[in-house]
Structure 1
Amino acid sequence: MGELVADLRAETEELDGVIRGLDPAAWELPTPAEGWAVRDQISHLAWFDDAATVAATDPEAFRAARHAFLDQGESAIDELAAASRGLTSALLHDWFRVARARSLEAFAGLASATRLPWYGPDMSAASFVTARLMETWAHGQDVADALGVVRIPTARLRHVANIGVRAMPYGFAVRGLAPPADPIRVELTLPDGSSWTAGPIGAANLVKGTALDFCLLVVQRRHLDDTFLEVRGETARAWADIAQAFAGPPGRGRRPLGSGISQGGTRWSRSSPS
């Protein structure tokens, strides 16, 4: 938990560095998520940080409030973003900083195996913190794309890759599909050149490439065709087409923009959903 919380704090500081000092107009720039500006990406993180703190400190209160939120259906996320658009950029930035600091403090006091409720299945505290890091990195990518910033990938991508692989059954189940019986091997190269792997060696189904490309795919910030990932086998391809590392309804992904842009380009389509 100490390592996870430290990495989440580092991911937070990186995102804070991107938005620190932005003029108010920059907060209104559109991001790749249709209808969402930079401000909406940050308010989304802040709102769910507040919810995460409740989940970590008062699980029963969270469960009581969760039903009302889930009953709103898929529109709830966009409604939350719209509700925060009256805040100034300064107030919104302060909200994010305070909400994240509170959640980090709450996480630091948890044992890794403690079960916490969320909007999907309950998770261990370790998985919960990993999910918050994944969300921070994913929404941070939207912000970076909107601002034309190319982020330097870090070893923290291993956490995003981990939750991306572990969420594979969920990606199928949330679409009403049976999880595949065939195992999938994942072989990734981390930014420092080291290897990260999952799944049995020699499996017929394989996903191979950089951790950056894989992580962009599983958080649905790039289409498979816009990565350099090698995908072998029918099962691996089926997963690559629907992979999602986040809880909630099926993500709609991103439209393909052109082969191999994810390594350095920042092009995106405004019609692509978050």
Structure 2
Amino acid sequence: MDGETVLAALRAESQRLYEKVCAIPEGEWDRPSPCDPWTVREVFAHLTNAVDRVGSMLAEPEPEPSGALVTAAGYYAPDERFSTDANEVRIETAQDSAGWYADGRALAEHFDSVWRSVTTACAKEPPERRVRTRHGDPMLLSDFLVTRVVEVCVHGFDVAVGLGHEPWPTDEAADVVARLLLGGRPYDASVPVPGGGWDRTTFLRKATGRLPMTAAERAAERLGLRRLTLG
């Protein structure tokens, strides 16, 4: 996926998410999210940190153009980055950072500032810009931004469900995540899916573990579904 398309998706999904949470009552932030053990506040803090990481990466020296680059799909490989220990650090970091803000509105406003700053900075970078993840992986910035769209979109599902709402993904972000899951192909609801037909949002939720799959539905992997290891 080209960088401009991915960046547009990150902008659209981040704007949608901010608009959905900026005015919710303070008590709603402490509802449990389906991303156990996080509350809505904590999962929102996690995705805010995930987007904010882009700014830190851009401030670091660009990796030398040597060796293979990790792709967006490769970023979600089932290795030590998603081990039990790594996930415990993710959980604790989000819980700690959720407490940095006076209230949920302050956290939402910080997220709004972060995504705007990050997307503005990324728009100035050349298509071949490389970055290094906190795990040491060299990646194209455009590929790393795909992972940030996944973070905002998929954890946006967790926020929505935690608040008792239907998920609200934008078309732009849903297409980016679907193409990642399908090896570059867009999701086509007219293609039969084992176990029943899904709209794109249902497909995304099932494919990312946000909704359960039946044994018949898991046969969808034969249609080329990529499994992502998500923290």
TM-score (norm 1): 0.63
> Is contact 2:26-2:104 (8 Å) kept?
yes
1:179 paired residue number: none
1:260 paired residue number: none
Which region of structure 1 is more displaced relative to structure 2, 35-44 or 216-225? 216-225
**Counterpart of 2:46 in 1: which secondary structure?**
helix
Tell me whether 1:101 sits opposite 2:116 in the alignment. Answer: yes
Separation in structure 2 between the aligned mates of residue 77 and residue 101 of structure 1, nearest angstrom: 24
> Is contact 2:130-2:141 (8 Å) kept?
yes
Q: CA deviation at 1:187?
A: 7.3
Structure with greater proportional helix content: 2
Separation in structure 2 between the aligned mates of residue 114 and residue 144 of structure 1, nearest angstrom: 33
Tell me whether 1:231 sits opposite 2:215 in the alignment. Answer: no
**Unpaired runs of at least 5, structure 1:** 62-68, 168-185, 197-207, 245-249, 252-273
Of 14, 18, 37, 2:39 maps to: 37
**Unpaired runs of at least 5, structure 2:** 64-80, 192-196
Change (3 A) 1:187 1:230: farther
Tell me whether 1:89 sits opposite 2:91 in the alignment. Answer: no
Structure with greater proportional strand content: 1
Tell me whether 1:158 sits opposite 2:171 in the alignment. Answer: no
TM-score (norm 2): 0.73
Q: How well do the aligned residues superpose, as a CA RMSD in angstroms?
A: 3.5
Separation in structure 1 between the aligned mates of residue 15 and residue 159 of structure 2, nearest angstrom: 14
1:189 paired residue number: 188
Change (3 A) 1:80 1:166: farther
Larger Rg: 1
Of 208, 219, 227, 1:243 maps to: 227
> Is contact 1:55-1:116 (8 Å) kept?
yes
Alignment of 1:14-53 (within 5 A): 14-53=16-55
Structure 2 residue identity aligned to 1:76: V
Separation in structure 2 between the aligned mates of residue 105 and residue 220 of structure 1, nearest angstrom: 32
Change (3 A) 1:36 1:6: same
Which region of structure 1 is more displaced relative to structure 2, 118-127 or 29-38? 118-127
1:11 paired residue number: 13
**Counterpart of 1:134 in 2: which secondary structure?**
helix
Tell me whether 1:215 sits opposite 2:215 in the alignment. Answer: no
Q: How many residues align?
A: 204
Separation in structure 1 between the aligned mates of residue 204 and residue 59 of structure 2, nearest angstrom: 30
Change (3 A) 1:220 1:105: same
After superposing on structure 2, the runs of 4+ consecutive aligned residues of structure 1 that deviate more than 4 Å are 69-72
Change (3 A) 1:101 1:76: same
1:140 paired residue number: 156
Q: Deviations over 1:50-109 (max 9, x none)?
A: 211111232469xxxxxxx99963311011112123222232122211221221112111
